Amino acid sequence: MREEEKLKKFLKAKGLKFTKEREDIIREIENTEGHFDPDGLFIKMKNRGSKVSRASVYRTINLLLESGIIDVVENIDRHKHYEKVKDKTHHDHMICIKCGKVIEFYSPTLEMLQQELCEKEGFTPTKHSLEIYGYCKQCYKK
Partner DNA sequence: TGTTTATTGAGATTTAGTCTCAATTTTAAT
Partner DNA sequence: ATTAAAATTGAGACTAAATCTCAATAAACA
Binding site for DNA (CB under 7 A): 11-12, 15-22, 37-39, 51-56, 58-60, 62, 77-80
Interface with a copy of itself in residues 99-128 (CB under 8 A): 103, 105, 107, 109-110, 113-114, 117-118, 121-128
Determine if residue 101 is left, alpha or beta; phi over 0 gives left, psi from -120 to 50 gives alpha, anything else beta.
Answer: beta
Which residue, 3 or 21, has its beta carbon nearer to DNA?
Answer: 21
- How many whole angstroms separate alpha carbon 36 and alpha carbon 29? 9
Q: Which residues on neighbouring strands pair with residue 93, listed in sequence order? A: 104, 131
Which residue, 53 or 114, has its beta carbon nearer to DNA?
Answer: 53
Other beta carbons less than 10 A from residue 61's beta carbon: 22
Q: Is 65 in the site for Zn ion (CB under 5 A)?
A: no
